[in-house]
Amino acid sequence: MVKANLDNVTIVLKGPKFPGNVGSAARCAMNMGIGKMIVVGNRDLDDEAVRQMATHVAKEIVDGIRHCDTLEEALAGFSWVVGTTARQGSGRGPVVSPLRMAEILVGLSRENEIALLFGPEDTGLTNDDLRFCQTLVTIPTVGFKSINLSHAVMVICYELLIARMENDSGFAPKLASAKELEGMYAQLKETLLAIGFLLPDNPDYWMMHLRRLFARTTLLAREVKILRGICRQIEWYGDHKERKSS
């Protein structure tokens, strides 16, 4: 039986507003067996308030919090990013339940670093933030959709803990990292602009659809290299043909 490896799972909080929420989220994560956290932006959080809400239970995770200035920096080393969102719509892509998310991550977590991404308490994650995510998850609610940040962390981490104890899932190989994927997307965008597939006034619209397409294929690192090689060959062919015609 393949079980989720929670050592490969990290909580990533983008722009949290309140130190108490960070501390509470740390405690929830630690209670569910997840011991790593990254905070993106907002380096001015009151450390004492964070520790007070985390209590001694989560001292280890609070001591180890890594601070990053940008989401791209924070997610560079992860092969799979789960974004949490209360808002849905065609611009955000398909979402899954926390239970389904956990089933997806069981096998992936064996050989890949996983990020569970949560947005600010007041606005949540933006569409631009979600471009880094391979899976989007929504926590079902009755009535008011928004829930407290630490509560959301608890629900997501709980489902992973249960999946670790109960789920039988297939093995998943090591995937390309977010840094490798972002490099591929940047090169693909350049190439598609050069051949006229993307319109220069709004290239990101179709790039978002391409991101969703590739997200469903769980790209390996070697496959990203192949795709980048194809882009280089297309660029070479275009330059070569232009030189011959001039």
CB 33 within 8 A of CB 161: yes
Please list the residue range(s) of the chain that carry CATH number 3.40.1280.10: 6-166
Separation of alpha carbons 180 and 220, rounded Å:
10
What per-residue confidence (pLDDT) applies to 23? 96
> What's the Cα-to-Cα distance from 152 to each of 115, 138, 240, rounded to whole Å?
14, 9, 53
Tokens describing residue 244:
């011959």
Distances (CA, A) of 231 to 69, 136, 179, 186, 193: 31, 28, 17, 11, 11
Least confident of 61-70, 106-115, 140-149, 168-177: 168-177
Is domain 178-245 given the CATH code 1.10.8.590 in the classification? Answer: yes
User: The tokens of 160 are what?
Assistant: 């992973």
Does 124 have pLDDT greater than 60?
yes
Looking at the chain, the domain(s) classified CATH 1.10.8.590 span 178-245
Q: Give the predicted TM-score (pTM) of the model.
A: 0.73
CA distance 216 to 186: 19
Mean pLDDT over 208-224 rounds to 83
* Contact (CB, 8 A) for 15 and 117: no
What is the predicted pLDDT for the residue at 33? Answer: 93
Q: How sure is the predictor about 159, in pLDDT bands with cuts at 50, 70 and 90?
A: very high
Under the banding of pLDDT at 50, 70 and 90, the label for residue 238 is confident
Residues 100-120 have a mean pLDDT of 91
Mean pLDDT of the chain: 87
CATH superfamily to which 6-166 belongs: SPOUT methyltransferase, trefoil knot domain (3.40.1280.10)
